[in-house]
Structure formats: C-alpha cells, structure tokens
C-alpha cells in the first residue's frame, strides 16, 4: 500500500556529490513517501519520462546541457503534467524565478537545503500542480462552453478594453480574438439605433459603472468590421471577483436579423395586399383616420377617391385570372404614379381601389387628381401579348363636408362611385347627401312589404278563408309601397341630372 501511495521523483543532477546529498535527505522516516530515481543528463531524463509515470522532477538548472529555462521546457515537453522543483545556485536565482513563470512550481538554493525544507517544497509542488490542473480543467470547460454557445460573448476589463471573444462573436463582429484583445470596446463593437442611426453608448461601461445587469435598447444594429449590419439582442452584466468587486463586464448577444426580417414581412403582409403590395383595407382605415385627425387640427381637408374598374369581370372571365391579376398590378402602378408621396393608394379587394389625398387645399384639387387617374387607367395595358383597355369609375368624398370619420368618408366615396358607374362609367362623381336616399327608400319598401306579410298571416290565423276585403287591403299596401319607391326614383333621377349639369362632376372621353 505504501508503494502505491509513494510519490515518484526523478532527480536530474550531473554533480554526483549534490546527488548524494539530496538522496541522503530521504531517510528512513520519509522514504516510504517518495521513490527517487537519479539520472545525470537531460537526454536520459527525457527517455525515462516517456516510459515512466513521474510525479515530481527535481532539476538542477545549473547543468550545462541544456541551460536554464530550456531545461524546464524540455521536461514539460516530455511530461506536461509533472511538477518541477528546481535546484539553483545563488547566482542562478534570477533564472529560477523566471522558470516559475515558464512552468516550474518552486526552487531551492543549493548549499542551503535542509531535509524538512526539501520535503515541504516537494509536497507543495505536488499540491500546486493539482490546483493548477483543477483550474486548467475548469478554465478549459468554461472555454469549451463559451466556444460551443450559439450566442456571441465578449468580455472587457474595467477600462473597457476587450479581454475575450468567443468564435460566434468573432464571426458577428468581424474581429478575431488576437486582433481585438486590448482594444477599446467602442472600436470593435459599434452599435447604432436602427431607426435614428444615432450611436448607442457602450453598454459594458454602463454595466461596470452601475454594477448591475442591463440590456441593449430595441432596434439595436451592430455594424461589423466590414460595414455590414446586423440586428442584435443582448444582455450585459458586470463581472465580479470573490470580494464582489467589479473587474469587468460581459455581454451576450445574438443575431436577430432573420427574425426581424420575418416580423417585418408578417407585419407588411397583415397591412398590405398580397397581389399589388398596396396598403389593404385595415391600413387604409388607419391612414384615413390619421389624415382626418391632422386635418381637424390644421382646419384642412382630406379627400377619398373610390375606384372600381369597369368591365373587369368580363376581362377576368375571358382571359383568365392570371391575366386579370397582372392587369390589377398594372393598374396599381399607374395609380401610384398619379399621387404625391404623402398620399395613399389602397386596394380594397377585387377590382376596387381607394386613393387617400392628404392636406387638400381645395375640392377642385381632388377633381384634378380624379381626371389624372381616369386618364392613367384608360391607356392600353400590354399584358402577355394582350392589349387590354379598361376604364374606371370614381366616387369622391371630402372631409369635413361629407363625413367626419374614416368609415363614413370611405362609405360615401363608395356611394358616389356607384352613381358614377350607374351614370355612364369612366367618369367621376362627388358625393351628395341625396345619393344615400335610395338605400333608405329600399329599407322603407321592404319594411312596408314585411308589414303586409305580417298582416296577411294574422288574418289567416283567424280563419281558413281570407275575405275579399282583406285581400284588397293587402294588395293596396303592396301597391302603395312599390308606387312610392318608383315616384321617389323619378324625382331623384331628375334632381341628379339637374345637379350633374351644374355640380362638380366630370367624365373623360375615351
């Protein structure tokens, strides 16, 4: 058992007298703790170390071959995990001190060595080596962990200079660890606000100064060494020693560019038409509401133009949906070319488009835009070798004269478009309150007819036979309801024709 617990020592000493004195210090009382082997040259020591397991090397650095530090390096090359205790003369003590930095654990001055001191040095060297091994393993484990992480990691000291980058951080910043170490964080980790483009202050310095965990602001963009940009998210924390003192900071961040791009695409899809890329109904309602709010503050005007293509269904049915889709895309481009930057062209669905004109000075300006839209749409659309001509009908409504909110402003423009289409197509019509009379009348007629039906059911429930007088009453109610609707239609038609001759409505001759 004693043999298994004994520490093996290799004594490398070419001075036989020194070797005899050293071996003599291992008396019977401690001989069970150590097993000593003696060699006289470095080449013999290297051969021995390659074939045997040795715990401690007791090395005389005053040997001529090889001298000083080179001897320590050769021992470690032959046995990297061995403990080394040096035997040095007083004049070589400086070399012995330097050798501690190379890998030796301790040194003794020849001529001043006592058995107790030798035993202490040998045992301490083994303990130091074990501690070094544990620290090395822990450091290696931490290094492997950091290098295996999917997130980037950067560490700085209290001066804000970089002390560590893991491979992911190297790839994301464009800086290699060897190049970045010692450089200021602000030099290798340039971040700006993705919206304002303003430089974001060094988060590591803030974490170090405030001694608390933090995060980067939203829309944070990392500018790589080559100038490319990445959206990143991160967390920053101070690094503390055993006493709780801040010794630096660490930032862990990841590339979220793909996620941001996907979010932007999803957001765009939720608010834009998939076929034309124009704002959809939801986004249009928001923009009309915003335009009205601004116009209310500035006492301005807003116009909504509701467009419906004339005869689009026939084109779609005869040439196919693919041609129809391409025609809609062509119309969308032409509509966009007719409006200003602040204005909006939206597709409501099918062959319906809505144009929002912001900050309108005069209603006549909306009419000018309507004429421009009519002319733009009517031109020949060359689609897959088909020359297609299509016209559009436009209804216009103006805030604040026609409606005070987005929903009614769009609805009234739709009503005006219906009248434009009914009165010849390829024209525009401004909304008039009288235009909504017909839908109201239809409701009244339907109400009267429902009442007549309810009365008939009630009379039938009182007997199996409906008297002739009752039938006459029901017939009169129905006739009156229909006659009333027809009378209003004739009156309204005359009124509309009169307004069209003197109002702000127009058409474009093809």
CA end-to-end span of the chain, whole Å?
113
Cβ–Cβ under 8 Å, residues 213 and 253: no
Where helices occur in 238-280 by DSSP H, the ranges are 257-271
Q: For 454-490, how does the pLDDT look when each residue is reduced to its tens digit (9 = 90+)?
A: 666 665 655 544 444 455 555 555 555 555 555 444 4
Say how far apart CA 210 and CA 227 lie, in whole Å.
Answer: 31
Nearest to 305 by CA among 391, 359, 367: 367
Per-residue pLDDT at 441 exceeds 70: no
Q: Which residues pair with 92 in a beta bridge?
A: none
DSSP-derived letter for residue 15 is -
For residue 106 the two structure tokens come to 């301790």
For residue 64 the two structure tokens come to 């001529």
Return the minimum-mean-pLDDT range out of 121-130, 398-407, 456-465.
456-465
pLDDT band at 2; cut points 50, 70, 90: very low
Residue matched to tokens 């895309």: 329
Nearest to 426 by CA among 270, 289, 311: 311
Averaged pLDDT score across all residues of the chain? 83
Q: Give residue 115's pLDDT.
A: 81
Q: What is the pTM of this model?
A: 0.52
Instruction: Give backbone dihedrals phi and psi of 298, rounded to 5 degrees, phi first.
Output: -100, 0
Q: Give residue 112's pLDDT.
A: 87
Strands (E), 241-379: 246-255, 301-310, 344-349, 352-360
Q: Give residue 453's pLDDT.
A: 62
Q: Give residue 150's pLDDT.
A: 77
Cβ–Cβ under 8 Å, residues 486 and 467: no
Q: Give residue 212's pLDDT.
A: 82
Nearest to 391 by CA among 376, 378, 406: 378
Q: Give residue 240's pLDDT.
A: 85
Q: For 74-113, how does the pLDDT look when each residue is reduced to its tens digit (9 = 90+)?
A: 999 999 888 899 999 998 899 999 998 888 888 899 888 8
Q: Give residue 500's pLDDT.
A: 43
Q: Give residue 4's pLDDT.
A: 47
DSSP-derived letter for residue 161 is B
DSSP-derived letter for residue 88 is E
Q: Give residue 211's pLDDT.
A: 82
Say how far apart CA 485 and CA 496 lie, in whole Å.
Answer: 16
Q: Give residue 25's pLDDT.
A: 84
Which of residues 296 and 141 earns the better pLDDT score? Answer: 296
DSSP element (H, E) containing 85: strand 83-88
Which of residues 458 and 187 earns the better pLDDT score? Answer: 187
Q: How many CB atoms lie within 10 A of CB 491?
A: 12
Q: For 71-80, how does the pLDDT look when each residue is reduced to its tens digit (9 = 90+)?
A: 999 999 999 8
Cα dihedral value 255, 256, 259, 262, nearest 10: -90
Q: Give residue 483's pLDDT.
A: 53
Query: pLDDT exceeding 70 applies to what percent of the chain?
Result: 80
Average pLDDT over residues 293-317: 93
Average pLDDT over residues 161-174: 91
CA 35 to chain centre: 65
DSSP element (H, E) containing 164: strand 162-165
Cβ–Cβ under 8 Å, residues 102 and 72: yes
Average pLDDT over residues 122-146: 72
Query: pLDDT exceeding 90 applies to what percent of the chain?
Result: 44
Q: How many alpha carbons lie under 13 Å from residue 17 in its C-beta half-sphere?
A: 2
Residue matched to tokens 């190379």: 102
Say how far apart CA 249 and CA 211 lie, in whole Å.
Answer: 9
Say how far apart CA 122 and CA 132 lie, in whole Å.
Answer: 15
Average pLDDT over residues 38-57: 92
For residue 259 the two structure tokens come to 């996620």
Residue matched to tokens 């070319």: 337
For helices 312-319 and 321-336, give the axis angle rounded to 10 degrees: 140
Cα dihedral value 242, 246, 247, 249, nearest 10: 120
Top mean pLDDT of 203-212, 260-269, 422-431, 477-486 is at 422-431
Return the minimum-mean-pLDDT range out of 271-285, 371-385, 428-442, 445-459.
445-459
Cβ burial, residue 61 (10 Å; 0-12/13-18/19+): buried
Across 370-409, b (16+ Cβ under 10 Å) vs e yields bbbbbebbbeebebeeeebebbbbbbbbbbeebbeebeeb
Which of residues 408 and 423 earns the better pLDDT score? Answer: 408
Q: Which residues pair with 107 in a beta bridge?
A: 86
Average pLDDT over residues 414-425: 91
Where helices occur in 157-256 by DSSP H, the ranges are 167-173, 177-180, 185-188, 203-210
Per-residue pLDDT at 62 exceeds 90: no
């Amino acid at each position: 058992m004693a043999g298994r617990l004994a520490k093996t020592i290799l004594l490398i000493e070419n001075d036989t007298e020194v070797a005899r004195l050293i071996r003599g210090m291992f008396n019977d009382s401690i001989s069970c703790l150590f097993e000593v082997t003696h060699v006289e040259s470095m080449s013999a020591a290297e051969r021995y170390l390659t074939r045997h397991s040795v715990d401690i090397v007791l090395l005389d650095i005053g040997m001529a071959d090889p001298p000083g530090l080179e001897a320590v390096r050769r021992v470690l090359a032959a046995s990297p995990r061995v403990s080394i205790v040096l035997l040095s003369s007083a004049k070589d003590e400086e070399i012995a001190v330097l050798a501690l930095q190379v890998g030796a654990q301790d040194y003794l001055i020849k001529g001043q060595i006592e058995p107790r001191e030798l035993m202490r040095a040998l045992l301490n060297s083994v303990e130091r080596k074990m501690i070094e091994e544990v620290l090395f393993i822990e450091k290696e484990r931490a290094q492997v962990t950091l290098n295996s992480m999917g997130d980037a990691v950067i560490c700085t000291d209290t001066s804000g200079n970089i002390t560590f980058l893991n491979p992911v951080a190297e790839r994301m910043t464009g800086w290699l660890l060897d190049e970045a170490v010692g450089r200021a964080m602000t030099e290798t980790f340039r971040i700006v606000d993705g919206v304002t483009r303003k430089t974001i202050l060094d988060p590591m310095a803030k974490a170090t100064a405030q001694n608390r965990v933090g995060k980067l602001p939203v829309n944070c963009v990392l500018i790589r060494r080559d100038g490319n940009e990445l959206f990143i998210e991160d967390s920053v924390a101070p690094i503390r020693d055993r006493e709780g003192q801040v010794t630096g900071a660490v930032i862990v961040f990841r590339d979220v560019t793909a996620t941001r791009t996907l979010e932007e695409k999803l957001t765009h899809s939720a608010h834009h038409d998939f076929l034309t890329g124009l704002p959809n109904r939801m986004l249009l309602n928001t923009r009309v509401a915003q335009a009205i709010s601004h116009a209310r503050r500035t006492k301005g005007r807003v116009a909504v133009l509701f467009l419906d293509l004339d005869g689009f269904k026939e084109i779609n049915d005869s040439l196919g949906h693919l041609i129809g889709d391409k025609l809609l895309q062509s119309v969308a481009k032409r509509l966009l070319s007719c409006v200003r930057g602040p204005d909006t062209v939206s597709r409501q669905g099918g062959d319906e488009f809505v144009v929002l004109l912001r900050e309108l000075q005069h209603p006549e300006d909306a009419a000018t835009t309507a004429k421009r839209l009519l002319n733009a749409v009517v031109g020949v659309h060359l689609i897959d070798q088909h020359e297609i001509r299509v016209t559009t009908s436009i209804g216009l409504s103006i805030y604040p004269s026609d409606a005070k909110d987005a929903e009614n402003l769009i609805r009234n423009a739709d009503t005006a478009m219906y009248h434009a289409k009914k009165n010849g197509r390829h024209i525009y019509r401004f909304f008039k309150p009288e235009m909504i009379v017909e839908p109201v009348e239809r409701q009244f007629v339907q109400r009267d007819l429902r009442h007549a039906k309810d009365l008939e059911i009630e009379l039938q429930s009182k007997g199996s036979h409906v008297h002739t007088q009752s039938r006459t009453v029901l017939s009169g109610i129905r006739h009156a309801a229909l006659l009333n609707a027809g009378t209003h239609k004739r009156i309204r038609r005359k009124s509309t024709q009169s307004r069209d001759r003197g109002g702000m409505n127009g058409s474009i001759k093809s």
